[in-house]
């Protein structure tokens, strides 16, 4: 009887640890709003001095361990993959 209880407890612990480990390495999928990106002519690479990081509408996210952040733009809702080096037609510094 004791070996069965030990096995059941050990099984629960192992599955629990596996779940915690998988939750820690499972990537959070970012959202994109492709239709609005296209409408605003968003580009991943800026030309010249205008880029998202210097725009008043850009909101930087906090970077994860891999250096990826959830960057937002006030003008493109439901999109957290805005490149700080990107730009769109509504860029503004004021």
The reply to whether 43 falls in a domain is yes
φ, ψ dihedrals at 45, nearest 5°: -125, 130
The reply to whether 91 falls in a domain is no
Least confident of 15-24, 39-48, 54-63, 79-88: 15-24
The reply to whether 90 falls in a domain is no
Q: Is the Cα torsion angle 36, 58, 51, 82 positive or negative in sign?
A: negative
Q: Which residue range forms the structural domain that includes residue 34?
A: 2-73
Report if pTM > 0.85: no
The reply to whether 92 falls in a domain is no
The reply to whether 81 falls in a domain is no
Mean pLDDT of 17-30: 51
> CA–CA separation, 21 vs 12, rounded Å?
14
Mean pLDDT of 21-31: 54
Number of compact structural domains in the chain:
1
Per-residue confidence (pLDDT) for residue 80, from 0 to 100: 87
> CA–CA separation, 80 vs 15, rounded Å?
32
21's tokens: 């480990």
């Amino acid at each position: 009887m004791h070996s069965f209880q030990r096995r059941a407890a050990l099984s629960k612990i192992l599955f629990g640890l596996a779940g915690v480990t998988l939750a820690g390495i499972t990537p959070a999928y970012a959202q994109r709003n492709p239709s609005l990106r296209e409408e605003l002519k968003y580009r991943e690479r800026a030309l010249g001095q205008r880029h998202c990081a210097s725009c008043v509408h850009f909101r930087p996210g906090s970077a994860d361990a891999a250096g990826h952040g959830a960057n937002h733009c006030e003008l493109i809702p439901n999109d957290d993959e805005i490149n700080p080096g990107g730009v769109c037609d509504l860029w503004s510094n004021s």
